[in-house]
Amino acid sequence: MANSKYAYVRNFELPDSLLPGTFMLFRLDGHSFHRFSDQHEFKKPNDVRALELMDHAAKDVMTEYPDIVLAFGESDEFSFLLRKSTTLYNRRESKIVSTLTSLFTSSFVFNWPKYFPDTPLQYLPSFDGRIVLYPEEKYIRDYFAWRQADTHINNLYNTTFWALVQEGGQTTTEAHATLRGTFSKEKHEILFSRFGINYNQLDARFRKGSVLFREENMTKYRSLFSQISSEELVATDTTLIESDKALEDTMAGSEASPTKGETRKA
Ligand code: ATP
Ligand code: ATP
Ligand code: MG
Ligand code: MG
Ligand code: MG
Ligand code: MG
Ligand code: MG
C-alpha cells in the first residue's frame, strides 16, 4: 500500500478501554450555560422549555443506546448509567464519550425550535462529557443522591435568590448578601413569609430533577430511588426520585451555599 510507510503513526494512538464489569456513569454538562441561558433569555430560576429540551435530547440518546438503563437530569446536565456488562464500542472511553456527547448536542440543536419557537439560536451550544466507573451499586445509589442533593441545594438557593430580585426589588449583589450564610430553613422562611411561596409546592421537576427509566428496567432500578410510585413512572416517563426528607438527610451540613448555580454571577 502506498501509504504504509506512514501507517506507523497509528501506533501513537493509545488504547483507552474501560475496566470490564464496572458501571459506567456518563455525565454531560452544558458549556458556559450561565451565559447561554442569559443570551437566550431563559426564565429564572427555571426555564421549563430548556429542561424539557434536555429531557428530549436525553431520550434520543437512550433510544439510540439500549445499554443505557437510567438517566437523571437537572439544569444543564444529564447523567446516564450504562449496564455493567456493556460492550459498547469495546468500552473505548473516548469513542463512547465523544459519540454520546455529540448525539445529545445535535438533538439539542435539532429540537431547539420545538421548545423555543420564538427564540432563534444565537450561537452554537456545546456540552462537555466524562465517564466515571463505579464498581458497586452502592456508589451508583450515592452518585444519584449526590446529583439530586445538588439539584435541591441549587434550586432552593436560586428560587429564593430570584424571588428577592424579581419580587423583592433587590439587586443581585444584595440578594447574594441576604442569602449569605443562610440555612435551608431560613430560605424556606424568606420564601413563605415575604413572597407567599410554599417551596414544597413548586414543580417537583425543579426541586428534584427528572429521571428517565426504561419500562423493562423499572423494577430493577427503582430500588435506587426510594419513594417512587410505578404509576408515576408509567404516566410520564419522566419522573421523580426520593422524598424531601431523604434529600435533607443527604445534604445535612452542606447547606450554607450552593455548589454552583447563580452564585457565580454577582
Ligand atoms: P466509525 O463509526 O468506526 O467511524 P464509519 O462507517 O464512520 O465507522 P469511517 O472509517 O469513519 O467509517 O469511514 C467513513 C465512511 O463514510 C467512508 O468510508 C465513506 O463510505 C463514507 N463517507 C464519509 N464522507 C464521505 C463523503 N464526503 N462522500 C462519500 N462517502 C463518504
Ligand atoms: P460550565 O461550562 O463550567 O458548566 P456553566 O455556566 O454551564 O459553566 P453550570 O454550573 O453548569 O455553569 O450551571 C449552569 C447554569 O445555566 C445555571 O447556573 C443557570 O444559570 C443556567 N441554566 C441551565 N439550565 C437552566 C434552566 N432550565 N433555566 C434557567 N437557567 C438555567
Ligand atoms: Mg460545571
Ligand atoms: Mg454547565
Ligand atoms: Mg451544570
Ligand atoms: Mg472516518
Ligand atoms: Mg467514521
Distance 109 CA to ligand 2 centre (A): 17
d(CA 215, CA 237): 8
Beta bridge partners of 77: 29, 74
Structure confidence at residue 177 (pLDDT)? 97
100 with 65: CB under 8 angstroms?
yes
**Ligand 2, closest atom to CA 154?**
18
The best mutation among 75, 126, 147, 162 to test binding of ligand 2, ranked by most ligand atoms within 8 Å of the C-beta, falls on 75
Q: Name the residues around ion ligand 4, CB cutoff 5 A.
A: 29-30, 33, 76
ipTM: 0.93
Q: Which of 128, 74, 93 is nearest to 261 (CA)?
A: 74
Structure confidence at residue 162 (pLDDT)? 97
Q: What is the DSSP letter of 14?
A: P
**Ligand 2, closest atom to CA 262?**
18
Q: Nearest ligand, CA of residue 36?
A: 2
Distance 69 CA to ligand 1 centre (A): 29
Strand order in the sheet with 238-239: 127-134, 23-30, 77-82, 68-74, 210-213, 238-239
85 with 21: CB under 8 angstroms?
yes
The one-letter amino acid code at 51 reads: L
Structure confidence at residue 222 (pLDDT)? 61
Determine how β-strand 68-74 pairs with β-strand 210-213: antiparallel
Structure confidence at residue 82 (pLDDT)? 96
Structure confidence at residue 251 (pLDDT)? 38
Distance 185 CA to ligand 4 centre (A): 27
Instruction: Give one DSSP letter per residue of 176-210, joined into a string.
Output: HHHHTT--HHHHHHHHHHHH---GGGS-HHHHH-E
Give the helix/strand (H/E) hosting 238.
strand 238-239
Q: Helix, strand, coil % (nearest 5) of the chain? A: 55, 15, 30
Structure confidence at residue 244 (pLDDT)? 38
Q: Nearest ligand, CA of residue 89?
A: 1
Q: Which of 242, 215, 210 is nearest to 226 (CA)?
A: 242
Nearest Cα residue to atom 24 of ligand 2: 75
Structure confidence at residue 225 (pLDDT)? 52
The model carries a pTM of: 0.86
Distance 8 CA to ligand 2 centre (A): 43
The CA-atom distances, in angstroms, between 255 and each of 50, 115, 157, 170, 265 are 26, 33, 9, 22, 19
β strands within 68-217, DSSP E = 68-74, 77-82, 127-134, 210-213
**Ligand 2, closest atom to CA 45?**
29
The one-letter amino acid code at 37 reads: S
Which residues line the pocket of ligand 2, CB cutoff 6 A?
Answer: 29-34, 37, 42, 44, 46-47, 50-51, 75-76, 260-262
Q: Which of 198, 197, 177, 204 is nearest to 263 (CA)?
A: 177
Number of H helices, E strands in the chain: 10, 6
d(CA 155, CA 209): 10
Structure confidence at residue 250 (pLDDT)? 39
Could you report the average pLDDT of every consecutive run of 10 residues in the chain (266 residues)?
86 97 97 98 97 96 94 96 96 98 98 98 98 94 90 95 97 96 95 96 91 74 48 32 38 39 34
d(CA 34, CA 52): 18
**Ligand 2, closest atom to CA 54?**
27
The best mutation among 28, 35, 37 to test binding of ligand 2, ranked by most ligand atoms within 8 Å of the C-beta, falls on 37
Structure confidence at residue 223 (pLDDT)? 56
